[in-house]
A = this chain, B = another copy of it.
């Protein structure tokens, strides 16, 4: 039985998303227990709305406070010791849960998780890693915003963590790792990227070299590494562009009666397409490099998206990701493969 603590109050929609998502997940995951962490009354009311009464697979763990979405992380960490986020992370530390999922404030989640769980030996700072769709399959990209300034050594650590995660969860023995860089002939990136390139070449990883921005979506890599500044802008740019393209397609189909009729004919195809690029299917970023599993759901996630974040937590617990990262880093260090 896997036990996961959900920060039931986190995100833009709180219990109205987390509770139905928990119930929906339990309908098809039988060896799973979910602990709903947060204000008991709010959770109970929401459970009742769904005619759910608890049972062996669902529990409520009361926490009186809520971290707001725009609260400064340092303040959340200092003054909200009984927040649903903090208590959920504590449950992982104490071993009462094997992972936690939160749709709350990213900065507060990162700060609290780092403070409570600590980073693995050999890891300076945790990173945020997520999955993006590609032409052929999908790719894991990190860091997506936890570290705006990175050293070459940190980029190497990100590459190692990403590689171990993909090996563990997807069973790929030698994940292909690329380092995001600019592609102009005269300027092969800044000093940090150049030094990270050398470190990666000397590492035991299956390093494929520099990749340019357009190679993120080709599917040629399993892991792509960048600093959190670039990663965050890359991710958000992609979200914005996908939204614009969807908007344009809708507009064109709504132009006149004829185009509206053709939309009816094309509807199944358009739905299949939308399903394929549905960001909800890719919801659930991992705070990687910690001693426990912490999954960040998008703040605006709906129940379907939140369910995907829970499933990501299940997959990482099943595959023992933090322990494997710890073991492999120790093994690499012992072999002298990394400084």
Contact = CB atoms under 8 A, between A and B. Distances in A.
A107 interface: yes
B212 A236 contact: yes
Given A187-B228, A245-B245, A252-B272, A240 B213 contact: yes
Given A185-B106, A232-B182, A239 B252 contact: no
Given A232-B183, A240-B214, A263 B259 contact: no
A214 B243 contact: yes
Interface of A: 69-74, 105-108, 110-111, 133-135, 145-146, 148-149, 180-187, 189-191, 212-218, 226, 228-230, 232-245, 247-249, 252-253, 255, 258-259, 261-263, 265-266, 268-270, 272-273, 276-277
A190 B239 contact: no
Nearest to A245: B245
Given A240-B216, A265-B265, A229 B272 contact: no
Nearest to A238: B241
B213 A232 contact: yes
A145 B73 CA distance: 34
A15 to B, nearest CB: 22
A126 to B, nearest CB: 13
B186 A107 contact: yes
A135 to B, nearest CB: 5
A70 B183 CA distance: 11
Nearest to A215: B240
A72 B217 contact: no
